[in-house]
Amino acid sequence: MSSVLGFLRRNWQAYSPPEPPKNTNPIKFGILAKSHPDVEIHAVAARQKDKAEAYAKKHNIPHAFDSYQAILDDPSIDAVYIPLVASLHYEWAIKAIAKGKHVLLEKPATVNAAEAEMLFRSPLLRQPNAPVLLEAMHFRFQPSWQYFLSLVDHENIQTVDSVAELPSYIIPKGNAQLEYNLGGGTMLHLGTYPMYALRQIMGDEPKECVTCRIRSNPPPVDLSDESTEVRFRFHGGRIGNAVINARASVTTLPTFNISVCHKEIKLEDMTLPKGQTKWTRRKLSISNFLISSFWHRIDIVDEYTIRDETNEKDLKKWTVKQSKKVYTFKDANVDQPSEPFWSSFRHQLEQFVNRVRGKQRSGLWVDQEDSIAQARMIDMAYEKSGLPLRPTSKFRLEISMGNLLG
């Protein structure tokens, strides 16, 4: 009963979080600011003024603009969240940075690795006191994910399997995520999560994309994939698999699961008789890794074997199983602020604000080279699949000394 009550309380507060008193000089930001005392919702922009005004009214946002540029031209705005179609991410992120705005950029940060290199290696980001730029890989910031990673022995991994599935009605026909020219495609959107998870768990970049089997969307959007099965090879022969499906049956629940199988390794045990050895293999899984604040479960299975060294016969086998739920950093024995009702987005916002304010860094971050490496991994998969890479933005910002000197 207590776990049911905890589930209800946690998700009610996540939906309607308590609003702390705002600090005297908060960062003026967007809708994610509701439960953070150091951030204030200030403005929203849309190409149609009536849509911007309706959104602002619904969410009690004081200002509504009818152009994205108006947001960037407002000197009172410190930071912007960019959730536009992926093909516009590069253009508006670089424009915002040139205006001195901190940027929280919806994933995928860019549509391909060439764009990622242009954005994340821009001279604008190398200047003193450059704005903060973060790709919003929100699940990376969850206590549950950090705890799960702490259980992994990177070098002794054998295989990792990641699954991300959505029922077909989540991304309906006509959605921009299906349009090739707008940076559409399941691997680039839904697929970026399980592929990023593979990189994090392996602690390494893939050496090659071994196979990539896709099912394209029907014409006229057949240059974008609706489902994918992709396999990567990592250093030491470790294998990472991802199953991505944005067209699962309507009865399928959103599914975000990962399982890790380690190699069997030998343990030192001085209590064993001569000629006997002790071995172990760890298997891990996490259910609902993407939105684990709603609910999740981490399973740890350690298999042990006593083996005769002369004939390699198994003399004894046993298994130790544990399950864990980690809703706060305190649950993971980590000294970081968090509340049970904080979503992955709220945990992400905490770290973003800390960077903007120049506070002590926690180590939880998606750095610039990380985002570039992620884009390269997705490019590898598209190239293996036979589909073309999403087209690179033609926008180029003329960077003057004025831009660099502020």
Same domain, 275 and 393: no
Total number of domains constituting the chain: 2
- The answer to whether residue 365 is domain-embedded is no
| 286 assigned to some structural domain | yes
Domain boundary among 285, 303, 328: 328
Average pLDDT over residues 380-391: 98
From 309, 328, 347, give the residue that closes a domain: 328
Task: Provide the token pair at 129.
Answer: 């006191």
The bridge status of strand 133-136 relative to strand 157-167 is unpaired
* Whole-number Å distance between alpha carbons of 109 and 133: 10
User: In this structure, are 15 and 68 located in the same domain?
Assistant: yes
Domain hosting 258: range is 142-328
**Would you state the pLDDT for residue 399?**
67
**Residue 225 resides in a domain:** yes
* Residues 175, 35 share a domain: no
Query: How far is the C-alpha of 294 from the C-alpha of 8, rounded, in Å?
Result: 9
183: left (phi over 0), alpha (psi -120 to 50) or beta: left
Evaluate whether residue 21 is within a structural domain: yes
- Which three-class secondary structure string do you get for 273-304? CCCEEEEEEEEEEEECCCCCCCCCEEEEEEEE
Domain with 308 in it: what CATH number?
A: 3.30.360.10
Tokens for 378?
A: 């997705």
Catalytic machinery residues: 107
Q: Where are the alpha helices (DSSP H) in 153-238?
A: 192-202
Last residue of a domain, one of 288, 306, 328: 328
Do 127 and 25 share a structural domain?
yes
Same domain, 154 and 286: yes
**Comparing C-alpha atoms, which of 276, 88, 263, 262 is closest to residue 183?**
88
**Over 60: is that where the pLDDT of 314 sits?**
yes
Residues 190 and 266 in one domain: yes
383 in a domain, yes or no? Answer: no
Are 159 and 276 members of one domain?
yes
Do both 41 and 175 map to the same domain? Answer: no
d(CA 278, CA 305): 6
**Closest-CA residue to 42 (of 28, 23, 57, 53):** 28
56 in Cβ contact with 65 (< 8 Å): no
Q: Please name which of 142, 137, 135 lies closest in space to residue 295, comparing C-alpha atoms.
A: 142
Confidence of residue 16 (pLDDT cuts 50, 70, 90): low
What CATH number is given to the structural domain containing 8? 3.40.50.720
Give the list of residues 6+ apart from residue 338 with CB closer than 8 angstroms, or none: 143, 327, 328, 329, 330, 347, 350
Range in 133-142, 168-177, 327-336 with the lowest mean pLDDT: 168-177
In this structure, what is the dihedral angle of CA atoms 30, 34, 37, 39, given to the nearest 10 degrees? 0
Note whether residue 46 is domain-resident.
yes
86 close to 111: Cβ distance less than 8 angstroms: yes
Strand 39-41 and strand 239-248: the pairing is unpaired
CB 81 within 8 A of CB 56: no
Q: Do 61 and 163 lie in a common domain?
A: no
Point out the least confidently predicted range of 38-42, 47-51, 95-99, 332-336: 38-42
Amino acid at 191: G
Residues 6 or more apart whose CB falls under 8 angstroms from that of 5 comprise none
Are 69 and 85 in contact, with CB atoms under 8 Å apart?
no
Query: CA 268, CA 279: separation in Å to the nearest integer?
Result: 9
Does residue 178 sit in the same domain as residue 306?
yes
In a domain, 15, yes or no: yes
Q: Among 27-41, 131-145, 309-323, name the one with the lowest average pLDDT.
A: 27-41
Q: Work out the burial of residue 334: count CB atoms within 10 Å of its CB; fewer than 13 is exposed, 13-18 middle, 19 or more buried.
A: middle
Q: Are residues 129 and 175 in the same domain?
A: no
Mean pLDDT value of segment 166-173: 93
pLDDT tens column, 22-64 = 676 787 764 434 457 788 878 988 888 898 899 889 888 999 9
In a shared domain, residues 155 and 79: no
* pTM score: 0.91
Question: Looking at the domain assignment, is residue 243 inside a domain?
Answer: yes
